[in-house]
Amino acid sequence: MIRLQQVERLFQVGDQTVHALQDINLDIAVGEYVVIMGPSGSGKSTLLNLIGLLDRPDRGHYLLDGEDMTDQDDETLARLRRDKIGFVFQAFHLIPRLSAFENVELPLTLAGIASAERRERVTQALTSLGLVDRAQHRPDQLSGGQRQRVAIARAIIMQPVLLLADEPTGNLDRAAGREVLAILEALNRDGITLLIVSHDPEIGARANRRLHLVDGRIEADVRQQHADAVG
């Protein structure tokens, strides 16, 4: 599904060139559950953004479902992000003035999906995440865990094949974090490919596979037994 070949990402900071990613060679199969770990500044979020088509490599190639993304135009990348990829962020990124229902509905509206189908799909998503009774609440009327569940509902409303989560439990207490992780793992068991950036070694221990980045390089690529339930 995902193939990175000799990928590099460079940033210019003053008169210095910073190698955010160096010589990344990586294959991720459909349905894998991968946690990306490493110290701050190691390139974790840069790698996730590149895989999510929010950024482009300076060198090398990125193939998604066998198609090279490297030279695709912005319109094509936007369509692929909309149709294939869901994003969950630490800071939720919900629109404050919209209700939970409207936040989840937004990708469907932008995709031109008819109103009746939007209502049905959003109601189903909110129900599955235990939020149907919070549908008309704005983000400031929801707890942190509820806001992250709304963000997950929005991320999966277009039925993506790939879900990317950047520190999804970072702003949550332990109980809410475990609840959100359980939801993400259930989605993975249902077939979605799941990539999580996290500093939490407990999350890293749960995945099928753990990548460890140091100074923009993959220093370790560990395959491991996936736990079946959040403890």
Is 88 within the bounds of a domain? yes
Task: Convert the pLDDT of each residue in 177-194 to its tens digit.
Answer: 999 999 999 999 999 999
Indicate the average pLDDT of the chain: 92
Is 139 within the bounds of a domain? no
Q: Enumerate the H helices of 38-173 as residue ranges.
A: 44-51, 74-84, 100-110, 115-128, 144-156
pLDDT (average), residues 163-183? 91
Do the bridges between strand 33-37 and strand 85-89 make them parallel or antiparallel, or are there none, so unpaired?
Answer: unpaired
Cβ neighbours, 10 Å, residue 204: 20
Task: State how far the alpha carbon of 68 is from the alpha carbons of 3, 73, 130, 171, in Å.
Answer: 9, 11, 38, 35
Is 229 within the bounds of a domain? no
The predicted model scores a pTM of 0.91
What pLDDT shows up at residue 180? 92
pLDDT (average), residues 147-157? 94
CA atoms within 13 A on the CB side of 65: 8
Is 32 within the bounds of a domain? yes
Q: Enumerate the H helices of the chain as residue ranges.
A: 44-51, 74-84, 100-110, 115-128, 144-156, 174-189, 201-206
Is 36 within the bounds of a domain? yes
- DSSP per-residue string spanning 120-136: HHHHHHHHHTT-GGGTT
Measuring CA to CA, which residue among 28, 27, 33, 2 is closest to residue 225?
A: 33
- What CA–CA distance (Å, rounded) separates 109 from 88? 19
Task: Convert the pLDDT of each residue in 185-231 to its tens digit.
Answer: 999 999 999 999 999 999 999 999 999 999 999 999 999 875 554 44
pLDDT (average), residues 104-130? 94
Is 68 within the bounds of a domain? yes
Residues above pLDDT 90, as percent of the chain? 81
- What CA–CA distance (Å, rounded) separates 95 from 112? 19
CATH number at residue 11: 3.40.50.300
Q: Name the domain count of the chain.
A: 1
Is 39 within the bounds of a domain? yes
Task: Convert the pLDDT of each residue in 62-81 to its tens digit.
Answer: 999 999 998 899 999 999 99
Task: Convert the pLDDT of each residue in 26-60 to its tens digit.
Answer: 999 999 999 999 999 899 999 999 999 999 999 99
What pLDDT shows up at residue 197? 95
Is 150 within the bounds of a domain? no
